[in-house]
Structure 1
Amino acid sequence: MAAGIKRKQATDASKPSNGVEVKKAKVEGSKSFTKREFVEPAKKPSKRNEASELEELVESDTCEGEHGFYGFAAKENSENDTSVSEDSDLSESEKEVKDQKRDVNKAKVEKKTKTSGAKPTSLEGLNLSTSKEAHAKQKALSKERKAAKPNADEIARSKKLWERLRLKSHVGLEERKKLVVELFDIVTGRVKDFVFKHDSVRVIQCALKYSNMEQRKMIATELKGEFRALAESRYAKFLIAKLLEKGDADIHEIIISEFYGHVRRLINHPEASWILDDTYRSMASPEQKAILLREWYGPEFSIFKTKTEGSVSSNLSKILEQSPEKRQPILNHLQGMINQLVQKKLTGFTMLHDAMLQYFLACKPGSSEASEFLEHLKPEAKEGEEQDSDLLKNLAFTKSGSRLVCLAIAHGSAKDRKLLLRAYKDTMELLALDANAHHVLLAALSIIDDTRLSSKSIFGELLPSDASAVTLHEKTISLVNNLEARTVLLYPFAASAKWLYPTNSPTLSLLAELHAIRATTSKKDPTIRLQELAKAISAPLLSTIAVGPSDFANSSFGCQFLTEVLLSAEGDKASALEAVADLAEGDPSGEAVHIAKSPAGCRLLKALVQGGRFDATTKKVVSVEPKLGFADMLWKRVSGWVKEWATGNGSFVIVGLIEADGFDAKDEVVAALRKMKDSLVVAAGDGAIKDEGEKKGKKRKGGMDDEKNKESKGNAGARILLQKLE
């Protein structure tokens, strides 16, 4: 009985009401009746081939366990047991009918085989084959189909080489070189036949990985004219990424030039859009970027190219200045392309962010175009659902996108700023750690008048109030030692300090642009805004400094953080200052780690001792109010080690003690220094010069005499202390 064919069930009418089965008496002449009953009508020849019958044979839409059938691979004993159990349920007449039917079918199969010589079909030879044989036939048929395809042998050979090459270990250098040479012998001249198949394209990627530049150019040359189609392929697009990664400028030009004129199609394609954007962001030159971005401005920029090299610009404002009559068509086309991607939720493209920034910069501030554009940036919130803020979050992490969000905050109203800032809820730490996204937080801190909103939204996530002391301490250390995140924490204390921002960073120029806009859109005084922000963040920072100042003093960033917070924070600083002063205890010249051995640590102590910041214009230290009183705290801890401090790396800390205003023990410091004047002379370098008096006046090759050279190698702080003692 074939799988999927249900066994006939006895009807309820054939059973008596009492449930007892009654055996029927054998009737003479039943033989002719049974023959007539099982005479099968003539059937039309089936058009299905043997393969389709095999598929029908293997698959079943019924439950085998339900109908008493357990597959072709069942043991012979189980088949016999099943047939016995089935026969036991039948009457003698039914058993005889069943045997006759089996004999008739067997005779038909034998007759057909003898007369025509044809093999029995799958259904006819059901009892002659097994499931394993059926699967083997299917597998053989699949191999035959693959072998009939073009370049089947070459693809099979190359895949075997690929299986060996992709092993990172167990393959020697010489063997790998031989495999690469053999692989290129196969694929050379057939690259196009390989790249559009999901399995063989991986062979080309492997060949690129171990190829030299000449071989890569050969592959790029063979694929010339096909890169747009490859970008739209589900698997071949990764080949373009690999070729761009491994290729040089010539290969980049071959690939990117085929994208010209097709940007609108590619950026909306589900596969090609990511390759196009990755190429634009990472591999394209400034001129290539400009050509690709100009196609967002209208069809004419796709059709007509600028012939003069080096003059291509994607600055939309300049283009509109040169052709003011094209303003409306260009803006309409650009807005349409932007809306297409935004509605499709494809808001992570760098090219999209650049286009959006160009559109906003081309609009006049306060115009209807600019207002409508800002409305589209606001997150949409439906009833019962969270607001959709994916666009704003993606914008924050690119250079153009972050600038666009900053300008939106600067030009927006108080309500707009609140909505924009709310979109970044639960992502403040990610923003603070990113090179571009931290600009959004700086813009919010410098522009939003509601400092309670900005401090709670930003500092409330960076330094949560419900966190434990240990967790808060660890988070603060990680933020302070990050190049971008520390600017967010220290902005309320050192907003205009140049040392706070990385060298060659666009942060200062961006803040200057935002401050110019702030003068017309914000009402609060900038100084008051910074004071309110500093007050909001002072308490958690002072508490975490008091817990473990040594963790901050281990790095230069940490020492700058301690200096700015302790000088500018509001609130009780006593415990934090005492904790920092404890770092100066002990012998600074010993082998143990000491703050005096760190140049940044010495600058920290000197600044706290002086109690203010040095003003370069007046050449004086401007003290903070109220007075810190750190000099008295420090003197209690270093009074027993004055000699080591004055003649070592921490000599300027002692200079700061002498120059500090309001320091009561200044005379004690001077008296201690007078007792060790000889040591100061030696440390300053004068003693070494006196021992070599005969060498005075002799010139060195560099034009500097020995006296000046010795002084330059001495302790500058010790020399200043000697001058103070005179």
Structure 2
Amino acid sequence: MAMNSVFLMTTLQCQVWKTYLQKKSEKKDNIKRHVEKVLLKAVEKEGVHYAFFQSLLWEYTRFFDEISKDVISGVADHAIHLLSTRNGALALCKLIGHGSAKDRKRMVKSLKGYTVSTLTHSHGYLALLKLLQVTDDTVLLQKNLLAEITNADNDEDLMSLALDNKGSKLFFLLLCPDSQSIFYEDEIDVVLKHENPDTSKKSDTIRRAELLQFLQPTLIEFCQKEENLVKLLTSHFGSKVLLEIFSKFGDDSMSTKLVSAIFASSELFEDSNACRTIQKLINIKHESNDNTSSSFASKLAEKFNDRLVSNIGASSRGAFVLTALIKCHDCDAVKSELLRDQELLLKKSKDAKYAKGYDVLLDLLNEDDEAKDKVAPLKEKATVVATPRRKTRSMSIESSTDDESVSSLYSAGGTPLRRSARKATKNKSYKY
């Protein structure tokens, strides 16, 4: 009977729920208690994994501000089953936000051993990110969830997360949580907003710092391998992860490994993702003002010395990288070498099917030459002496009634008169 009630209630559309609760506001508490009884009965009958139960649970957490502790406690041990549908994952996020420390601990235990598969799941990743966002016991998270990544025998799991649209959100949550361009609006509402801040004592910044400190050695070691760097550079999501890791933990050693990986795979300059990422790695220094990015730029220029045009400039995309190097203050020798090989760049520009990168680079190289050719403006304007106006004496003539007479058509000076003047009344005087 209870299961049939669940099925009937979940057939109601979201708008129907909202409208019904508004009309029956005086019965809202009774409706809430009835739904809670149905949910608890379904948990008792092990119906958590059914889609209609998860839909009802989502509507319950969505339309009622206060969530029953009994419902949270009853579902906590079955957290893994709620990830089978999007409604179940969204409902679990709500329960995590309202739950106590003990409830969250039981949920973490339920997800233990499924970290990678959950993070790469189409909607299961939301619940795991929510746990990382609000759980104060970071040691619990490290031992039961993140250890699955750090203790792996190889880098396959870490690489699969970095290259995945959903899995990469783990690194973005810890490295750049305030980046609005990375997280979708629904992810911000579900993951980053805390429904009940009183259930968490630590600040979001402290929790993230503790989790990131645990992952830091693994991430740095991961980025010390050239084969990993090449995969990250050529991936849409992996390149973004690499940028954030380099911005946070980049040092001289990581810069050297990056340059070596790029030098060993010169075809990277023809890859759209890799080309954009290398430009951003060069330009990071303009934002952070540290020595990390300038070290990468100078190392890259030094590694490709006397090969800038032949290797990096072999494609139009590579020409954009050369443009970024010219703008870097630590790479003065780059412009000299490119000016020396300017004729080769012109030839490549003419032969290329897409020459936008070459055009931008050549325009930048020609800026200084054009600046030298410009004529300096005069410091003082030359004084112009006005010619005195000659005074003329006034003369008067009488208009003639004969329209064909010369005096009626022309003035004394030979200038044609206006039509209105020719039609002037008789004996009217004209001055010129």
- Answer yes or no: same fold by TM over 0.5: yes
Of residues 26, 48, 55, the one that matches 1:325 is 26
Residue 563 of structure 1 corresponds to which residue in structure 2?
A: 243
Say yes or no: does 1:622 pair with 2:323: no
Of residues 503, 506, 530, the one that matches 2:208 is 530
How many angstroms does 1:578 deviate by?
1.9
Of residues 438, 449, 454, the one that matches 2:141 is 454
How many angstroms does 1:331 deviate by?
2.7
Residue 72 of structure 2 corresponds to which residue in structure 1?
A: 374
How many angstroms does 1:581 deviate by?
0.7
Residue 652 of structure 1 corresponds to which residue in structure 2?
A: 320
From the superposition, tell whether residues 447 and 624 of structure 1 become closer, same or farther in structure 2 (CA, over 3 Å): farther
Of residues 51, 55, 60, the one that matches 1:359 is 60
In structure 2, distance between residues paired with 1:454 and 1:424: 10
How many angstroms does 1:530 deviate by?
3.1
Of residues 597, 601, 619, the one that matches 2:270 is 597
Of residues 257, 272, 279, the one that matches 1:579 is 257
In structure 1, distance between residues paired with 2:254 and 2:9: 56
Residue 395 of structure 2 corresponds to which residue in structure 1?
A: none
Give the SS at the match of 2:193. helix
| Greater mean deviation of Cα atoms: 527-536 or 349-358 | 527-536
Instruction: Letter of the 2:242 partner, please give it.
Output: L
From the superposition, tell whether residues 354 and 474 of structure 1 become closer, same or farther in structure 2 (CA, over 3 Å): same
Task: Indicate if the aligned counterparts of 1:602 and 1:650 stay in contact, CA closer than 8 A.
Answer: yes
Task: Indicate if the aligned counterparts of 1:567 and 1:624 stay in contact, CA closer than 8 A.
Answer: no
| Greater mean deviation of Cα atoms: 547-556 or 483-492 | 547-556
Residue 491 of structure 1 corresponds to which residue in structure 2?
A: 173
In structure 1, distance between residues paired with 2:208 and 2:95: 21
Task: Indicate if the aligned counterparts of 1:438 and 1:484 stay in contact, CA closer than 8 A.
Answer: yes
Give the SS at the match of 1:491. helix
In structure 1, distance between residues paired with 2:200 and 2:102: 13
Give the SS at the match of 2:20. helix
Say yes or no: does 1:640 pair with 2:306: yes
How many angstroms does 1:519 deviate by?
5.0
From the superposition, tell whether residues 679 and 711 of structure 1 become closer, same or farther in structure 2 (CA, over 3 Å): same
Of residues 193, 216, 220, the one that matches 1:515 is 193
Residue 716 of structure 1 corresponds to which residue in structure 2?
A: 360
Of residues 80, 83, 103, the one that matches 1:416 is 103
In structure 1, distance between residues paired with 2:35 and 2:328: 63
Task: Indicate if the aligned counterparts of 1:263 and 1:292 stay in contact, CA closer than 8 A.
Answer: no
How many angstroms does 1:345 deviate by?
1.2
How many angstroms does 1:636 deviate by?
2.4
Deviations 1:103-138 (A, max 9, x none): xxxxxxxxxxxxxxxxxxxxxxxxxxxxxxxxxxxx
Residue 333 of structure 2 corresponds to which residue in structure 1?
A: 668
Give the SS at the match of 1:639. coil
How many angstroms does 1:432 deviate by?
0.8
From the superposition, tell whether residues 356 and 640 of structure 1 become closer, same or farther in structure 2 (CA, over 3 Å): same
Aligned length: 365
Task: Indicate if the aligned counterparts of 1:448 and 1:522 stay in contact, CA closer than 8 A.
Answer: yes
Task: Indicate if the aligned counterparts of 2:282 and 2:328 stay in contact, CA closer than 8 A.
Answer: yes
Task: Indicate if the aligned counterparts of 1:552 and 1:558 stay in contact, CA closer than 8 A.
Answer: yes
From the superposition, tell whether residues 340 and 529 of structure 1 become closer, same or farther in structure 2 (CA, over 3 Å): closer
Residue 544 of structure 1 corresponds to which residue in structure 2?
A: 222
How many angstroms does 1:724 deviate by?
6.3
- After superposition, residues 297-446 of structure 1 pair within 5 angstroms as 313=14, 316-365=17-66, 370-378=68-76, 389=77, 391-446=78-133
Task: Indicate if the aligned counterparts of 1:602 and 1:653 stay in contact, CA closer than 8 A.
Answer: yes
In structure 1, distance between residues paired with 2:99 and 2:40: 21
Task: Indicate if the aligned counterparts of 1:568 and 1:624 stay in contact, CA closer than 8 A.
Answer: no
Instruction: Letter of the 1:652 partner, please give it.
Output: F
TM-score, scaled relative to structure 1? 0.45
Deviations 1:546-603 (A, max 9, x none): 122223334233222222211123xx74443322211232694xxxxx2111121122
Instruction: Letter of the 2:22 partner, please give it.
Output: E
Instruction: Letter of the 2:262 partner, please give it.
Output: A
Residue 293 of structure 1 corresponds to which residue in structure 2?
A: 10
| Greater mean deviation of Cα atoms: 405-414 or 676-685 | 676-685
Instruction: Letter of the 2:209 partner, please give it.
Output: Q
In structure 2, distance between residues paired with 1:682 and 1:561: 37
How many angstroms does 1:545 deviate by?
2.1
Give the SS at the match of 2:195. helix
From the superposition, tell whether residues 651 and 453 of structure 1 become closer, same or farther in structure 2 (CA, over 3 Å): farther
Instruction: Letter of the 2:274 partner, please give it.
Output: G
Instruction: Letter of the 2:188 partner, please give it.
Output: L
Give the SS at the match of 1:541. helix
Q: Percent identity?
A: 19
Say yes or no: does 1:475 pair with 2:157: yes
Residue 387 of structure 2 corresponds to which residue in structure 1?
A: none
In structure 2, distance between residues paired with 1:587 and 1:488: 28
From the superposition, tell whether residues 397 and 595 of structure 1 become closer, same or farther in structure 2 (CA, over 3 Å): same
Task: Indicate if the aligned counterparts of 2:320 and 2:357 stay in contact, CA closer than 8 A.
Answer: no
What is the CA RMSD across the aligned residues, in angstroms? 3.3
Instruction: Letter of the 1:531 partner, please give it.
Output: A
Task: Indicate if the aligned counterparts of 1:681 and 1:722 stay in contact, CA closer than 8 A.
Answer: no
Which structure has the higher relative contact order (CA within 8 Å, separation 6+)? 2
In structure 2, distance between residues paired with 1:624 and 1:457: 38
Give the SS at the match of 2:287. strand
Task: Indicate if the aligned counterparts of 2:9 and 2:56 stay in contact, CA closer than 8 A.
Answer: no
Instruction: Letter of the 1:324 partner, please give it.
Output: S
From the superposition, tell whether residues 597 and 515 of structure 1 become closer, same or farther in structure 2 (CA, over 3 Å): same
How many angstroms does 1:539 deviate by?
1.2
From the superposition, tell whether residues 350 and 630 of structure 1 become closer, same or farther in structure 2 (CA, over 3 Å): same
How many angstroms does 1:681 deviate by?
4.3
Task: Indicate if the aligned counterparts of 2:116 and 2:157 stay in contact, CA closer than 8 A.
Answer: no
Deviations 1:143-189 (A, max 9, x none): xxxxxxxxxxxxxxxxxxxxxxxxxxxxxxxxxxxxxxxxxxxxxxx
Deviations 1:188-209 (A, max 9, x none): xxxxxxxxxxxxxxxxxxxxxx
From the superposition, tell whether residues 484 and 681 of structure 1 become closer, same or farther in structure 2 (CA, over 3 Å): same
Instruction: Letter of the 1:656 partner, please give it.
Output: A
In structure 2, distance between residues paired with 1:319 and 1:313: 10
Instruction: Letter of the 2:195 partner, please give it.
Output: I
In structure 2, distance between residues paired with 1:401 and 1:477: 28
How many angstroms does 1:349 deviate by?
1.0
In structure 2, distance between residues paired with 1:320 and 1:377: 25
From the superposition, tell whether residues 605 and 711 of structure 1 become closer, same or farther in structure 2 (CA, over 3 Å): closer
In structure 1, distance between residues paired with 2:338 and 2:260: 22
In structure 1, distance between residues paired with 2:142 and 2:218: 12
| Greater mean deviation of Cα atoms: 475-484 or 315-324 | 315-324
How many angstroms does 1:624 deviate by?
6.0
Give the SS at the match of 1:668. helix
Residue 606 of structure 1 corresponds to which residue in structure 2?
A: 279
Task: Indicate if the aligned counterparts of 1:360 and 1:370 stay in contact, CA closer than 8 A.
Answer: no
Instruction: Letter of the 1:352 partner, please give it.
Output: F
Task: Indicate if the aligned counterparts of 1:610 and 1:656 stay in contact, CA closer than 8 A.
Answer: yes
